[in-house]
C-alpha cells in the first residue's frame, strides 16, 4: 500500500550555480529600466503622461538600476503631438525625483528624435540642451548602422561632458554577421563610446546567437556590453540567460507588470534566477510589489492603446517588426478599421525591407518600411505610390543601406535619377538660426526653437497652447 513504500534515498541538491558557469563571474549583473520609454512605447504607443509617471519615480530610483531610459525615441514626438506636454519639462521633472539613477535618452544619431537627418548645428544644440535639462547617458544609434550618422552626436555628447552608449542594431539578413556587428562596435568604441548596447528590437535573437555575439563582443571590446531584447518572438528570457553565461554586463528590463509581449523581460525573474550565484546583484524583490500595482493601474488606464499581441508572435522571426512599430501599426490599422489586414501588411514588410537593402527596422527605417508596406497592401499595387521619405532614403539622404536597393524600388522612387550616398549631415545647411527666424515669437526658449526645428508641422499649435496664445 502507498504508505508502506520504501523511503526515497537522500538527494544532495546543488546550492547554486557556480562561478565556473558564468563568464564575468563575481561581477554583479546590472539592470537598466526601460518602462518609461521603450516599455510603454511597445505596449501602448507611448501614451503615458509625465503626470502618471511621477508617483512611481522615487520608488524606481531606489531599486538599484544602472540607468533609467525615459526619453528620446517616440516620447518627444508623442508628447508634442498627442499629449500636449513639453517633452523638455519631463526631463526636469524626472530630475526632481530621480536622485541616484542616471537618466538615459535614446538618440537616433543625425535624426535626433525625429524621422529625417537634421543639420549638424541642430544636432549639437539639441544634445547640449538635453544635457542641461538632465540627461546623463546618450544611447546613440543609426538605423542603418552607418556610423557617419553618429559622428556629430558623438562629438556633441563629448563636448557636453556626458556618457555615450553606442549601439549595435541586431537583425538577421544576408549582410549582417557576428563579424560585421563586432567591427561596428569596435568602430564606435574608437569614436568614444564608453558602453556598448546590443539592440534586438524585434525579438529575433536566439539563445545561441546571443552567446556567440556577446562572447565575441566581450573578447573584442574594452568597454562593458549590455543587451536589449523584446519578448515578441518568445526567446528573450532564454537569450538573456545565454548572454549572462557569455559575460554580458547589463540587461534592459521592465518590471513584471510592464513586461513580455512586444515589451521586455521582467527584472524579477532574473533577480530570482541569479540569487546566490556569482552574478547576484542583490536587489530586493519585495520592493516591486507596490511598483507593479501602480503600473497595472496605468495599463488599465491606457487600455485603449494597448497592443493586441497576446503571448508570442513567432511571425516576427520573418517580418522582424519591432515591438514599438508593431503596436503603432496595430493602432493605425485599427483607426482605419482595417486591423484584419495586419497579417498582409506584415508579410509585405518583409518584402519591402529586402527591397530597401535589409535595413534594421529601427526608427526611421521601420516607419518608412511599415508605411510603404501598408500603402502597397491597401492600394493592391506595389510602389504605385512611394512616400517622400522613402524617395529620400533611395537618394541616400538617410545614409548607406546594408545591402543594395532593389532595381524595382529605385526605378519607382527615382526614375532615371542615380542615387549617391554622402554623409547626410554634409548635405544640409545650418538650420538652428533659420528655425528661430521661422518660428518667431512663438518660441521663447532655445528648447522651443528646437521643438519647432524637429517638428515644424505641429510644433506651432503646441507652442500656442503652451503659452496660451
Asked if residues 207 and 15 have their Cβ atoms less than 8 Å apart, the reply is no
What is the per-residue pLDDT across 116-171, written as a single tens digit (0 to 9) for each? 999 999 999 999 999 999 999 999 999 899 999 999 999 999 999 999 999 999 98
Give the pLDDT of residue 432.
Answer: 98
Per-residue pLDDT, 5: 42
* 3-state SS record for 1-60: CHHHCCCCCCCCCCCCCCHHHCCCCCCCCEEEECHHHHHHHHHHCCCCCHHHHHHHHHHH
Contact 327, 44 (CB under 8 A): yes
Q: Which residues of the chain have a pLDDT value below 50? A: 1-9, 11-16, 18-20
Q: CB of 264 within 8 A of CB of 40?
A: no
In 3D space, the residue among 407, 308, 378, 278 whose CA is nearest the CA of residue 18 turns out to be: 278
Given a contact cutoff of 8 angstroms between Cβ atoms, the answer to whether 69 and 101 are in contact is no
Cα separation, 448 vs 456, in Å, equals 11
Per DSSP, what are the bridge partners of residue 273?
none
Full set of structural domains in the chain with CATH: 23-305 (3.20.20.70), 316-422 (1.10.472.90), 431-466 (no CATH)
pLDDT computed for residue 12 by the predictor: 45
Q: What is the pLDDT of residue 11?
A: 45
pLDDT digits (tens, 9 = 90+) for 361-389: 888 888 899 999 999 999 999 999 999 99
Pairing of strands 30-33, 250-253: parallel
How high is the pLDDT of residue 332? 84
Q: What residue spans of 168-221 are helical by DSSP H?
A: 178-191, 207-220
Q: Is the pTM of this model over 0.95?
A: no
Amino acid at each position: 500500500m502507498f504508505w508502506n513504500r520504501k523511503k526515497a534515498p537522500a538527494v544532495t541538491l546543488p546550492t547554486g550555480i557556480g562561478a565556473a558557469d558564468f563568464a564575468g563571474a563575481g561581477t554583479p549583473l546590472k539592470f537598466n529600466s526601460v518602462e518609461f520609454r521603450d516599455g510603454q512605447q511597445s505596449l501602448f504607443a507611448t501614451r503615458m503622461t509625465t503626470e502618471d509617471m511621477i508617483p512611481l519615480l522615487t520608488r524606481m530610483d531606489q531599486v538599484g538600476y544602472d540607468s533609467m531610459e525615459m526619453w528620446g525615441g517616440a516620447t518627444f514626438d508623442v508628447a508634442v503631438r498627442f499629449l500636449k506636454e513639453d517633452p523638455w519639462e519631463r526631463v526636469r521633472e524626472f530630475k526632481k525625483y530621480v536622485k541616484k539613477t542616471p537618466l538615459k535618452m535614446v538618440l537616433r544619431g543625425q535624426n535626433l528624435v525625429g524621422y529625417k537627418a537634421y543639420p549638424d548645428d541642430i544636432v549639437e544644440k539639441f544634445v547640449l540642451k538635453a544635457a542641461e535639462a538632465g540627461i546623463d547617458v546618450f544611447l546613440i544609434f543609426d538605423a542603418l548602422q552607418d556610423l557617419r550618422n553618429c559622428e556629430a552626436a558623438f562629438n556633441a555628447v563629448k563636448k557636453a561632458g556626458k556618457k555615450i552608449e553606442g549601439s549595435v542594431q541586431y537583425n538577421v539578413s544576408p549582410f549582417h554577421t557576428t563579424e560585421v556587428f563586432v567591427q561596428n562596435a569596435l568602430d564606435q568604441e574608437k569614436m568614444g563610446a564608453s558602453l556598448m548596447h546590443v539592440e534586438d528590437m524585434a525579438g529575433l535573437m536566439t539563445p545561441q546567437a546571443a552567446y556567440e555575439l556577446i562572447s565575441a563582443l566581450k573578447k573584442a571590446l574594452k568597454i562593458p556590453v549590455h543587451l536589449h531584447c523584446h519578448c515578441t518572438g518568445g526567446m528573450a528570457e532564454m537569450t538573456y540567460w545565454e548572454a549572462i553565461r557569455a559575460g554580458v554586463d547589463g540587461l534592459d528590463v521592465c518590471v513584471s507588470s510592464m513586461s513580455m509581449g512586444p515589451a521586455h523581460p521582467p527584472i524579477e525573474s532574473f533577480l530570482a534566477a541569479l540569487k546566490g550565484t556569482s552574478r547576484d546583484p542583490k536587489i530586493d524583490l519585495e520592493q516591486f510589489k507596490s511598483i507593479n500595482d501602480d503600473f497595472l493601474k496605468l495599463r488599465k488606464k491606457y487600455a485603449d492603446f494597448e497592443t493586441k499581441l497576446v503571448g508570442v508572435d513567432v511571425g516576427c522571426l520573418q517580418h522582424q517588426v519591432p515591438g514599438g512599430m508593431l503596436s503603432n501599426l496595430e493602432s493605425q490599422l485599427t483607426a482605419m478599421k482595417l486591423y484584419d489586414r495586419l497579417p498582409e501588411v506584415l508579410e509585405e514588410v518583409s518584402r519591402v525591407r529586402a527591397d530597401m537593402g535589409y535595413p534594421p527596422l529601427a526608427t526611421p527605417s521601420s516607419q518608412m518600411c511599415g508605411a510603404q508596406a501598408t500603402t502597397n497592401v491597401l492600394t493592391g499595387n506595389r510602389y504605385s505610390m512611394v512616400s517622400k521619405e522613402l524617395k529620400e532614403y533611395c537618394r541616400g539622404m538617410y545614409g548607406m543601406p546594408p545591402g543594395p536597393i532593389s532595381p524595382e524600388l529605385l526605378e519607382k522612387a527615382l526614375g532615371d535619377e542615380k542615387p549617391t550616398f554622402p554623409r547626410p549631415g554634409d548635405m544640409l545647411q545650418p538650420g538652428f538660426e533659420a528655425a528661430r527666424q521661422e518660428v518667431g515669437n512663438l518660441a521663447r526658449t532655445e528648447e522651443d526653437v528646437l521643438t519647432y526645428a524637429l517638428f515644424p508641422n505641429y510644433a506651432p499649435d503646441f507652442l500656442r497652447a503652451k503659452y496660451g496664445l
